[in-house]
Amino acid sequence: MKDPNNTRNTAPRRGSPLWIYFVVVILLGVAACGTAFAGLSGADLDALARNPVFWILGCFIVFGELRPIITPGSTENNGATTSTTFAFAALLYAGLPVAAFLQVIAVITCGILRNRTPHRIAFNAAQYTLSLAAAQLVLALAGDLATPTSLWVPDGADLPAIALAGAVYFACNDTLVGAAVALHERVSLIKALSWDLAYQVLVHLALLGLAPLMVVAMDRSAVFVPLIVLPFIAVYLNASVSVRREHQALHDGLTGLPNRKLLIVRTEEALAEARGADRRGGDRRRTAGIGPARRRKTVEQPDRRAGLFLLDLDRFKEVNDTLGHPTGDRLLQLVAHRLTHSVRPGDLVARLGGDEFAVLLPTVRDEAAAREVAARLRAALSEPVRLDGMSFDLEASVGIALFPDHAPDFELLLQRADVAMYNAKEARTGVEVYSPGKDRNSPARLSMLGDLRRAIDRSELELFYQPKISLRDGQLVGMEALLRWRHPDKGLLEPEAFLSVAEQTYLMRSITHHVVNAALAQAAAWWREDLAVQVAVNASGRDLLDTGLTETIEEGLLERGLPAAALQLEITERILMNEPAYASDTVSALAELGIPLSLDDFGTGYSSLVRLKRLPVEEIKIDSSFVGRLTESTDDAVIVRSIVDLVRTLGLRSVAEGVEDPQTARMLREMGCDAAQGWHFGRPMDAATATDWLRRRMERAPEPAA
């Protein structure tokens, strides 16, 4: 049954329409109870006390109130209250006084045990009493009036009257509660009744239909009554299992927060409500006579907005590294608790994975109001945390996207909140609202983003492999994994065609993890064939802000039995210009794990020697823009030679990219460059071709690179 106060357990404001309605219903309920109890005689009370059936019924009514049958999609507020069956059976068998007395006792007991407010308990008691009284009136008109001393057992001819009484009971009960909900939510009575009408009709049809059978069983023997309850117990247990499974499917196991699936459902519901509010607002404006000329003079603002926040913890990796994962899990639970107690009533907090959370605001006034909520969340998280004898501070970066200002659907809202969150983390501002000026995604790119999102699910992304060869002895140094997209319409696409779309979105994390897992799987397959080769994977600056990257690599290595040296991460020189990425915990964690790091595209980022020396890399890759003109430009030759000498001085390995002819390879070897890659040594190959290439190479002794 719907609850008139399912959002708050507080009394309505005195003098408000809802308060007046509560008072009227409660007074009518008291009057109905008084009238019913006044008709009880001493013989009735004696019969009531001596008959064990009534005591059994009372216990079942109390239990039915305390333990409603909650099915998937329903809640405690609209679940099937089995007390309905037993209370209606008491009405048929012994009359209104017995049924009302037992139901009121059950409501009061349940209300006390669940800490419900007095006004709520009183309203529920009055609601049931009035509904039972209405059903009693129908039975009395049909000539079927029972008392504790004159028990009534219906037969087949009485079923129409019972059916009508049950329908009146349901209509009265649903209308009383629906009116309270309508006043509370400020919607029409028709809308409040229609929210779960079909479900309530079906539930009450089953519950009230069992009441006559209960009466027949009670009349035969009190022993039969528990037998009637067994089906209820079976249904209750099965429903509990189903609800538990649904809860597990829609909630995060660690924090108990809603997961991505439930977040999608709730967001779509909020957006549908916002769209409906906008349409109603437009109708009101037209009704009010706002003509086209006037509308052109004002900026049309939506009547209702919804907001989606993406929140990522800063420096969370420190907790896992310092105190261990169990402590990190406890910290995430604490974060979940703080977030849920810092949002407004009706807002939803979800955990998307790792240390990333989402907050849904079904209604929000404007951008300033959204910022206020975000600031409150950050303030709640910033309070010092003390775990395992250590005290430290938490910080979070929050990205905000609003409907309909920034996006029309959930996926785009999440993507743009992710863009804003990344901007907040990169600029260290804490909170950022999505700004088109800071998002490089054009409509064409947004279309590709949708295709790319589906490509991940359809496994259209695959890795090609290009060899890195030692210039001194021709030995294989490693294979670089290069991402390709087999687009169903556009054919084989290289990273330049699609990675720029993903770099500012949450998809980049999924792509990087996919690439890492695919590279590790291929490396493991080669190592099993005694083709031990190091596989290099490219990582962006955004990846270095992902605290889960190290865990993914570590778990992948352990799962496949590979040493850390089997994988190499290539990071671009531009990260040295990006302080957050340069100083991120991920770089240090990867180095501690033993993952070799390579600095890619060197010579294009204007990096400082101080930062270069501090960065834990073992290899420097000279950008192809210099290598490609090596035989033609004296200036480029000087630059390349200087880089090679610098790298040698730092004790690192130099690798030249884009070597396409033997003359360039010879010059690089003479300069002292350690290794090279390019079409001269081998073009990018798919996994099968690369495997054949490796087998043939291992069968013959390598020759010095020409």
**Which parts of 256-355 fold into alpha helices (H)?**
260-287, 292-297, 316-323, 325-340
**pLDDT digit string (tens) for 540-574?**
766 776 767 888 899 999 999 999 999 999 887 66
- Which residues lie closer than 8 Å to 548 by C-beta, 6 or more apart? 353, 354, 509, 513
Kindly report the CATH number assigned to the domain that includes residue 646.
Answer: 3.20.20.450
Please check whether residues 243 and 266 belong to one and the same domain: no
Q: How far is CA 69 from CA 9, 46, 57, in A?
A: 22, 34, 18
**Residue 551 to residue 212: CA distance in whole angstroms:** 62
Residue 8 has pLDDT above 50, yes or no: no
pTM above 0.75, yes or no: no
**Residue 615 to residue 599: CA distance in whole angstroms:** 9
Please check whether residues 690 and 541 belong to one and the same domain: yes
**Residue 695 to residue 689: CA distance in whole angstroms:** 10
Counting other chains too, the contacts that 5-12 makes at CB distance below 8 Å and 24 or more residues apart are 5/117, 5/120, 5/180, 5/184, 6/75, 6/77, 6/181, 7/184, 7/345, 7/346, 8/345, 9/115, 9/116, 9/117, 9/120, 10/117, 11/117, 11/119, 12/119, 12/184
**Residue 175 to residue 589: CA distance in whole angstroms:** 62
Q: Report how many domains make up the chain.
A: 3
Q: What is the pLDDT of residue 560?
A: 92
- Which residues lie closer than 8 Å to 122 by C-beta, 6 or more apart? 22, 26, 29
Please check whether residues 214 and 113 belong to one and the same domain: yes
Q: What is the pLDDT of residue 606?
A: 45
**Residue 500 to residue 508: CA distance in whole angstroms:** 10
- The answer to whether the CB of 586 falls within 8 A of the CB of 550 is yes
Structure tokens at 379: 């303030």
Q: What is the pLDDT of residue 549?
A: 84
**Residue 9 to residue 132: CA distance in whole angstroms:** 25
How many other C-beta atoms are found inside a 10 Å radius of the C-beta of residue 276?
A: 12
Q: How far is CA 418 from CA 71, 358, 374, 424, 433, in A?
A: 35, 10, 14, 10, 10
**pLDDT digit string (tens) for 58-89?**
777 877 777 666 554 545 555 557 788 888 88
Please check whether residues 118 and 240 belong to one and the same domain: yes
Residue 282 has pLDDT above 70, yes or no: no
* DSSP letters spanning 23-51: HHHHHHHHHHHHHHHHT--HHHHHHHHH-
Mean pLDDT confidence for 96-108: 87
Q: What is the pLDDT of residue 503?
A: 72
Residue 95 has pLDDT above 80, yes or no: yes
Please check whether residues 636 and 554 belong to one and the same domain: yes
Tell me phi and psi for residue 662, to 5 degrees: -65, -30
Angle at the Cα of 685 from the Cα atoms of 680 and 689, rounded to 5 degrees = 115
- Which residues lie closer than 8 Å to 35 by C-beta, 6 or more apart? none
Tell me phi and psi for residue 675, to 5 degrees: -150, 170
- Domain annotation covers residue 346: yes
Q: What is the pLDDT of residue 559?
A: 92
Q: What is the pLDDT of residue 148?
A: 76
**Residue 147 to residue 98: CA distance in whole angstroms:** 8
Weakest mean pLDDT among 101-115, 371-385, 479-493, 539-553: 539-553
Which of 309, 301, 311 minimizes the C-alpha distance to 274?
301
The radius of gyration computed from the CA coordinates of the chain, to the nearest angstrom, equals: 35
Please check whether residues 206 and 352 belong to one and the same domain: no
- Domain annotation covers residue 7: no
Of the pLDDT bands very low, low, confident and very high (cuts 50, 70, 90), residue 216 is: confident
Residue that terminates a domain, selected from 375, 407, 436: 436
SS (H, E, C) 130-183: HHHHHHHHHHHHCCCCCECCECCCCCHHHHHHHHHHHHHHHHHHHHHHHHHHHH
Identify the three-state secondary structure at position 491. strand
Q: What is the pLDDT of residue 9?
A: 46
Mean pLDDT confidence for 34-47: 75
Q: What is the pLDDT of residue 206?
A: 78
Q: What is the pLDDT of residue 294?
A: 35
- Domain annotation covers residue 663: yes
Q: What is the pLDDT of residue 101?
A: 86
- Domain annotation covers residue 194: yes
Produce one character per residue of 197-222: b if its CB has 16 or more CB atoms within 10 Å, e if not: eeebeebbeebbebbbebbebbeeeb
Task: Provide the residue range defining the domain that includes 563.
Answer: 455-697
**pLDDT digit string (tens) for 128-154?**
999 999 999 998 888 877 777 788 888
Please check whether residues 229 and 272 belong to one and the same domain: no
Q: What is the pLDDT of residue 463?
A: 95
Q: What is the pLDDT of residue 583?
A: 45
- Domain annotation covers residue 237: yes
Please check whether residues 481 and 389 belong to one and the same domain: no
Residue 115 has pLDDT above 70, yes or no: yes
Of the pLDDT bands very low, low, confident and very high (cuts 50, 70, 90), residue 406 is: confident
Please check whether residues 512 and 373 belong to one and the same domain: no
Which of 11-15, 106-110, 467-471: highest mean pLDDT?
Answer: 467-471
Tell how strand 395-403 and strand 305-314 pair up.
Answer: antiparallel
Find the helix packing angle between 687-699 and 507-528, rounded to 10°.
30
Q: What is the pLDDT of residue 303?
A: 59
- Which residues lie closer than 8 Å to 462 by C-beta, 6 or more apart? 483, 484, 485, 486, 518, 686, 687
Q: What is the pLDDT of residue 436?
A: 76
Please check whether residues 246 and 345 belong to one and the same domain: no
Which of 321, 307, 405 minimizes the C-alpha distance to 349?
307
- The answer to whether the CB of 179 falls within 8 A of the CB of 130 is no
Please check whether residues 265 and 243 belong to one and the same domain: no
**Residue 40 to residue 23: CA distance in whole angstroms:** 26
Residue that terminates a domain, selected from 409, 436, 463: 436
- Domain annotation covers residue 448: no
**pLDDT digit string (tens) for 480-505?**
999 999 988 888 988 877 876 777 67
Weakest mean pLDDT among 238-247, 368-377, 408-417: 238-247
Residue 697 has pLDDT above 90, yes or no: no
Please check whether residues 245 and 265 belong to one and the same domain: no
- Domain annotation covers residue 8: no
DSSP state of 343: S
**pLDDT digit string (tens) for 327-347?**
778 888 888 888 888 888 788
Residue that terminates a domain, selected from 402, 436, 470: 436
Percentage of residues in the chain having pLDDT higher than 90: 19
**pLDDT digit string (tens) for 654-674?**
999 999 999 999 999 999 999
DSSP state of 432: E
Kindly report the CATH number assigned to the domain that includes residue 158.
Answer: 1.10.1760.20
**Residue 200 to residue 80: CA distance in whole angstroms:** 8
Q: What is the pLDDT of residue 235?
A: 62
Kindly report the CATH number assigned to the domain that includes residue 414.
Answer: 3.30.70.270
Mean pLDDT confidence for 644-653: 89
Of the pLDDT bands very low, low, confident and very high (cuts 50, 70, 90), residue 694 is: very high
**pLDDT digit string (tens) for 409-453?**
888 898 889 888 888 877 778 899 988 766 655 566 667 777 888
- Domain annotation covers residue 317: yes
More confident residue, 655 or 183: 655
Weakest mean pLDDT among 43-52, 101-110, 488-497, 637-646: 43-52
Q: What is the pLDDT of residue 202?
A: 77
Structure tokens at 56: 């059994």
CA atoms within 13 A on the CB side of 550: 22
